[in-house]
Amino acid sequence: MVKLTPKRAVIFDDQRLFSESFCVALLRLGMFDDVSVVLSDGELAGRLRNEEKEEIYFFVSASIRKINVFHLVEETRRIFPAVTIIFCMNSENYGVISRVQRLEANAIISKRDSFGDLKKCLERIGEKALICSPSIEAVIHTAETEGVCYFTAREIEVLFLLYEGKNTEQIAGIMHLSRHTIATHKRNMMTKSNTRSMGELLAFARRYFDIT
């Protein structure tokens, strides 16, 4: 008899109500031997560490207060390369989805997905590099059909730092780039978004990239 590899799910979200209800949903799927909830990044590493040859599925919200989720996921992938990463989207916003697509995640789902869609999405993980639930695929298809032009991964990083109140010199230091390069990224973003000032660019960011 072939012994199946145990599967463990770890949920990281700062919304306790969602975390608890999602935990119940994952247990109902019957796909996981254990499901646990993490409410702070301090306890995350211990939950993701694999010492028992398990398959670990990391479900992480795309928006967690006071945490740069994108940096967190990049670091998680670096330390735990075998972990399966699933982004849980708070809103079906193409700006955020496009940023998630550039990370080494395995799947993107919406918090509003039905139980059936969630099950089908998880069952398809491994079929290709990135699996998206039907609602996420619909957002991507609409954006592509309308020819929406969004920023490059590096431009998006600059945009988020600008929104945090960082100036050109600070951003250059954080990203290890020259001030001239950062200024060029800012000009390119203003051209793409048809904005004429930093205030208009940040308003554009709030509208299309779900920055709050």
Tell me the CATH number at 204: 1.10.10.10
Which residues on adjacent β-strands are paired with residue 84? 57
Q: What is the residue range of 170's domain?
A: 153-208
Cβ burial 118-134 (10 Å sphere, 16+ → b, else e): bbebbeeeeeeebbbbe
Cα separation, 33 vs 27, in Å, equals: 8
Q: What is the pLDDT of residue 199?
A: 92
Shared domain check, 178 and 86:
no
Q: Is residue 1 part of a domain?
A: no
Shared domain check, 129 and 86:
yes
Residue whose C-alpha is closest to residue 58's, from 36, 37, 38, 84 = 84
Shared domain check, 70 and 174:
no
Q: What is the pLDDT of residue 51?
A: 60
Low-confidence ranges of the chain (pLDDT < 50): 1-3
Kindly report the average pLDDT of the chain as a whole number: 85
Q: What is the pLDDT of residue 37?
A: 92
How many CB atoms are located within 10 Å of the residue 92 CB?
19
Cα separation, 197 vs 212, in Å, equals: 19
Could you tell me the CATH number of the domain that includes residue 36?
A: 3.40.50.2300
Q: What is the pLDDT of residue 121?
A: 93
